[in-house]
Amino acid sequence: MKVSVIVPTYNERDNLEELFARISNALKEYDYEIIVVDDDSPDGTWEFAQQLSDRYPVKVIRRTEEKGLSSAVIRGFKEATGDVFVVMDADLQHPPEVIPDLLRAIESGADIAIASRYVPGGGVKNWYWYRKLISKGAIMIGRLALPKIRDIKDPVSGFFALRREVVEGVELNPIGFKILMEVLIKGRYNRVVEVPFTFGLRKAGESKLSGKTMVKYIKHVYRLMRWEGELDRLIKFTLVGLSGVLVNEGFLWAFVNFLGWDKIFANIPATELAILNNFTWNDLWTFRDLKKNPLWRRLLTFHIAALTGALVQWVIYAGLVYLGLHYLVSNLIGIVVSFIVRFLVNRHVTWG
Ligand SMILES: Nc1nc2c(ncn2[C@@H]2O[C@H](COP(=O)(O)OP(=O)(O)OP(=O)(O)O)[C@@H](O)[C@H]2O)c(=O)[nH]1
Ligand SMILES: [Mg+2]
């Protein structure tokens, strides 16, 4: 088994010597190559990597036309000659000593092995609580929006190994932000394993993390949702919801006008009929490919979702009104949040 270690770099000159030494020590027992994909770093990372290639099996790619982390990794995939690819940062936040753990996972049958910060035994060093919160929050959004990766604890890790077949011939989006997420959604694989590791401190050089990171991440999640068809589901779910409003209003009107029912009471059967309408359309249309649970369970959890949504809407409404927000604005916010809650419960539980 030959291993290709792909390292995207930008101004990482001062980290290279230690990085290569530790990789070569960790991979003593393997046939391996290191592929450095550098975006013409002003500090001459590419040049120094080239110099070190007389001591280590390094191949340097100096890109002058293209830029960006994901596209650098994709370029690395194209240049790699190994059977297994390892992707890692140059700044030693990804300890090379973990690579053999990843390779063992692959040897035991995993197609993708992720060095994970968020499985037992893993972690991060010296992060402020808010950086942890943002990181975990971002991951939660990704896992909720993309059910395919919902069981993966660290789908945005920059440190992972995979069999060549996982990405060979797969078209990956180079403007994608988190390459692992791109691979997990589009790659060809059966088994993913997470191996714990501690995300260390940057050894030298500067972080390329910027304020736009979160916006880019959300955009990437959105694009992957579209690719997965999850966005279509969201649109269908919305249309079904709107049809439910018509059903609800129509029956309420009919019950009061034709049957002479009490206005307060008539709202209950009208609402139930709307719920049944929504359930039917969602079952036949929005989630028609996901009918794994028996009908009675789908019906039950759909009702629980509706009830939870109503409760959430009311709590938000009451809370915001209490805080002094206009009652119509408060209600609108409540409706939007309730909608998201109902979509997620139904996507992950009713048709999960
Ligand atoms: N080729 C290439 N490499 C990049 C680019 N941006 C970042 N990198 C490399 O990708 C790796 C991760 O970037 P970092 O800046 O360390 O990002 P981070 O680890 O999330 O942030 P810190 O915790 O602050 O280090 C490093 O090896 C960088 O040199 C880029 O645009 N092109
Ligand atoms: Mg880093």
Averaged over 160-179, what is the pLDDT? 95
**Counting ligands in written order, which one lies closest to the CA of residue 11?**
1
Q: What's the pLDDT tens digit per position in 226-247? A: 999 999 999 999 999 999 999 9
User: Is the pLDDT confidence value at 342 over 90?
Assistant: yes
Q: How far is the CA of 264 from the centre of ligand 1 (A)?
A: 60
Residues with Cβ within 8 Å of residue 224, at least 6 apart in sequence: 145, 146, 176, 181, 182, 185
Query: And the tokens for 290?
Result: 């996901």
Residue 127 is predicted with a pLDDT of 87
Ligand 1 atom with the smallest distance to the CA of 68 is: 31
Closest by CA position to 23, among listed 109, 106, 107, 87: 87
Query: And the tokens for 223?
Result: 């694009």
For ligand 1, atom 5: residue with the closest CA = 69
- Collapsing DSSP states into helix, strand and coil, what is residue 4? strand
Q: Is the CB of 93 under 6 A from ligand 1?
A: yes
Q: Is the CB of 39 under 6 A from ligand 1?
A: yes
Q: Is the CB of 89 under 6 A from ligand 1?
A: yes
| Ramachandran category for residue 260: left, alpha or beta (phi over 0 → left; psi -120 to 50 → alpha) | left
What pTM, to 2 d.p., does this model score? Answer: 0.93
Ligand 1 atom with the smallest distance to the CA of 72 is: 1
Instruction: Give me the residues paired with residue 87 across strands.
Output: 6, 160
Averaged over 182-208, what is the pLDDT? 91
Which residue among 73, 89, 139 has the greatest number of ligand 1 atoms within 8 angstroms of its CB, and so is best to mutate? 89
- Collapsing DSSP states into helix, strand and coil, what is residue 191? coil
User: Is the pLDDT confidence value at 209 over 70?
Assistant: no
Strand pairing category for 192-196 and 123-124: unpaired
Q: What's the pLDDT tens digit per position in 9-51? A: 999 999 999 999 999 999 999 999 999 999 999 999 999 999 9
Q: What's the pLDDT tens digit per position in 125-156? A: 988 888 889 899 999 999 999 999 999 999 99
Return phi, psi of residue 198, to 5°: -105, 120
* 344, burial (CB in 10 Å: exposed 0-12, middle 13-18, buried 19+): middle
Q: Is the CB of 237 under 6 A from ligand 1?
A: no
Q: What's the pLDDT tens digit per position in 302-319? A: 999 999 999 999 999 999
Q: Is the CB of 15 under 6 A from ligand 1?
A: no
Q: Is the CB of 126 under 6 A from ligand 1?
A: no
Q: Is the CB of 241 under 6 A from ligand 1?
A: no
Q: Is the CB of 117 under 6 A from ligand 1?
A: no
Domain edges within the chain: 2-228, 230-350
For ligand 1, atom 12: residue with the closest CA = 89
Residue 205 is predicted with a pLDDT of 80
Q: What's the pLDDT tens digit per position in 211-230? A: 688 899 999 999 999 999 99
In the structure, what pLDDT confidence band is assigned to residue 210 with cuts at 50, 70 and 90?
low
DSSP of 268-331, one letter per residue? HHHHHHHHHHHHHHIIIIITGGG--S-HHHHHHHHHHHHHHHHHHHHHHHHHHHHTT--HHHHH
Q: Where are the alpha helices (DSSP H) in 55-210?
A: 69-79, 99-107, 129-145, 164-167, 179-186
Strand pairing category for 84-87 and 160-163: antiparallel
Closest by CA position to 96, among listed 43, 26, 29: 26
Q: What is the CATH number of domain 2-228?
A: 3.90.550.10
Ligand 1 atom with the smallest distance to the CA of 45 is: 29
